[in-house]
C-alpha cells in the first residue's frame, strides 16, 4: 500500500518541481547581466571571495561565536595566502559547477562537463574509472571541507602520503579551503597545505574569505534563503555567476527520486550519505531553478546524451 501512496506522493512533488523546468533553455543576456551586477555589488566575489596577501594583511582579525573568540592572522599563516586573487582580471567563457548529487549516476555528462573552460567541484569528490563517463575528470577548482581531513585522514596527524596521493586526480587545480571559517579549522588546514608542499603536489591551496561568505549569506537571505549555512554548491554557483559568462550546473538535485524516471536516487553519485541538516537544499534548489527559468544559468537535469 505504502509503495503506491509513496510513489504517488513522489511523482506529485517532482512534477510540481519540474513544471518550472524547460530543457529548451536560452540565455537571457539582460537577466544574466542584472543578476551578476547585483551579486558583484553586494559581495565582490571577483576580488574578495578568496583571501589574498593584498586583502588580508598580517594582524587581520576574524571573530567567531558572535565575538566570543577571535583569531589574528599570524605571519606564518599569512605566508600561505596567495599573492593575487585567482579571479581578478579574468573571466571564463563557460563554467561547469558540479554538485555531488546522485542524479549524475549513469548521466553520461562527463564529456559535456569536461568541455567547459573552467570546472568547479565540491568536497574532493571521487573521479576517474567508472565515474569519468558521467561526471568527467577535468578540475580547475575543488573545495575541501576540513571535516574530510578529520574523518578520512585522522586530522592529518599521522601519515600524510595517502592524503596527498588522493589529490592526484585533481592535478594542478585550486584547492579551496574554508580554513578561517572556524578557529578549529586553521591547524588542520595548515597541515593540509604543508603536506601538499612537502610531497610536491601541484595543487594550489587557497582560502575562502569569511567576509565574502557573510555577504553572500546576506545576499541569499534577502532572496528568501534562511538556512543555517549555505551549501558548498550554491557558494560555487555564486562565484561562477560573477566570473563566468555561461554557468552550467550539474549534479544539483536534492531529492530522492529521478526527475524523469522517478526511480530512487542515492544522495551522492558515489555514496548515500545524507545531506547535513544545516542546509536548506530544496530552498536553494528552488532559487537556482528560478535562475534557470530566467536564463541566468543552465541547470542540467537528466541525461546528457
Q: Which residues are catalytic?
A: 279
Do residues 142 and 124 make contact, with C-beta atoms less than 8 angstroms apart? Answer: yes
**267 lies in the site for ligand CTP, by CB under 6 A:** yes
3-class DSSP assignment, residue 101: strand
Q: In the Cβ-directed half-sphere of 109, how many Cα atoms lie within 13 Å? A: 29
Give exposure, 27-62, as e/b (b: 16+ Cβ within 10 Å): eeeeebeebbeebbeebbbbbbbbbbeebbeeeeeb
The only residue of 107, 209, 231, 257 in contact with ligand CTP, by rule CB under 6 A: 231
Of residues 195 and 232, the one with the C-beta less far from ligand CTP: 232
**276 lies in the site for ligand CTP, by CB under 6 A:** yes
Do residues 248 and 297 make contact, with C-beta atoms less than 8 angstroms apart? Answer: yes
CB of 72 to ligand CTP, least distance (A): 27
**257 lies in the site for ligand CTP, by CB under 6 A:** no
Q: In the Cβ-directed half-sphere of 176, how many Cα atoms lie within 13 Å? A: 23
**275 lies in the site for ligand CTP, by CB under 6 A:** yes
Give exposure, 145-157, as e/b (b: 16+ Cβ within 10 Å): bbebbeeebeebe
The only residue of 122, 127, 179, 247 in contact with ligand CTP, by rule CB under 6 A: 122
Alpha-carbon distance 69 to 18, whole Å? Answer: 45
Of residues 134 and 279, the one with the C-beta less far from ligand CTP: 279
Task: From 78-86, 153-161, 200-208, 251-259, give the range in contact with ligand CTP by CB under 6 A.
Answer: 251-259
Task: From 33-41, 48-56, 217-225, 232-240, give the range in contact with ligand CTP by CB under 6 A.
Answer: 232-240
Binding site for ligand CTP (CB under 6 A): 99-102, 122-123, 145, 231-234, 251-254, 267-268, 275-276, 279, 281
Amino acid at each position: 500500500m505504502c509503495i503506491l501512496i509513496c510513489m504517488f506522493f513522489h511523482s506529485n512533488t517532482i512534477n510540481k518541481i519540474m513544471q518550472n523546468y524547460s530543457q529548451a533553455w536560452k540565455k537571457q543576456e539582460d537577466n544574466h547581466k542584472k543578476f551578476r551586477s547585483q551579486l558583484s555589488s553586494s559581495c565582490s566575489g571577483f576580488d574578495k571571495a578568496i583571501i589574498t596577501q593584498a586583502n588580508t594583511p598580517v594582524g587581520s582579525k576574524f571573530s567567531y561565536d558572535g565575538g566570543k573568540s577571535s583569531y589574528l592572522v599570524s605571519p606564518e599563516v599569512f605566508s600561505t595566502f596567495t599573492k593575487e586573487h585567482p579571479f581578478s582580471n579574468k573571466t571564463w567563457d563557460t563554467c561547469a559547477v558540479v554538485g555531488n548529487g546522485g542524479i549524475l549516476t549513469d548521466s553520461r555528462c562527463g564529456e559535456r562537463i569536461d568541455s567547459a573552460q573552467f570546472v568547479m567541484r565540491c568536497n574532493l569528490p571521487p573521479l576517474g574509472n567508472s565515474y569519468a563517463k558521467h561526471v568527467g575528470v577535468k578540475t580547475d577548482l575543488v573545495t575541501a571541507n576540513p571535516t574530510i581531513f578529520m574523518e578520512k585522514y585522522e586530522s592529518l596527524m599521522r601519515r600524510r602520503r595517502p592524503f596527498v596521493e588522493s589529490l592526484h586526480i585533481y592535478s594542478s587545480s585550486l584547492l579551496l579551503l574554508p580554513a578561517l571559517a572556524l578557529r578549529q579549522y586553521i591547524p588542520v588546514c595548515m597541515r593540509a597545505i604543508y603536506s601538499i608542499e612537502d610531497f610536491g603536489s601541484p595543487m594550489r591551496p587557497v582560502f575562502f574569505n569569511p567576509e565574502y561568505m557573510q555577504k553572500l549569506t546576506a545576499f541569499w537571505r534577502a532572496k528568501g534563503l534562511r538556512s543555517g549555512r549555505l551549501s558548498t554548491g550554491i557558494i560555487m554557483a555564486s562565484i561562477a555567476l560573477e566570473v563566468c559568462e555561461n554557468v552550467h550546473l550539474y549534479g544539483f538535485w536534492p531529492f530522492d527520486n529521478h526527475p524523469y524516471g522517478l526511480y530512487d536516487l542515492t544522495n551522492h553519485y558515489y555514496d548515500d550519505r545524507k545531506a547535513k541538516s544545516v542546509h536548506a537544499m530544496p530552498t536553494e534548489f528552488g532559487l537556482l531553478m528560478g535562475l534557470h527559468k530566467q536564463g541566468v544559468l543552465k541547470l542540467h537535469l537528466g541525461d546528457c546524451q
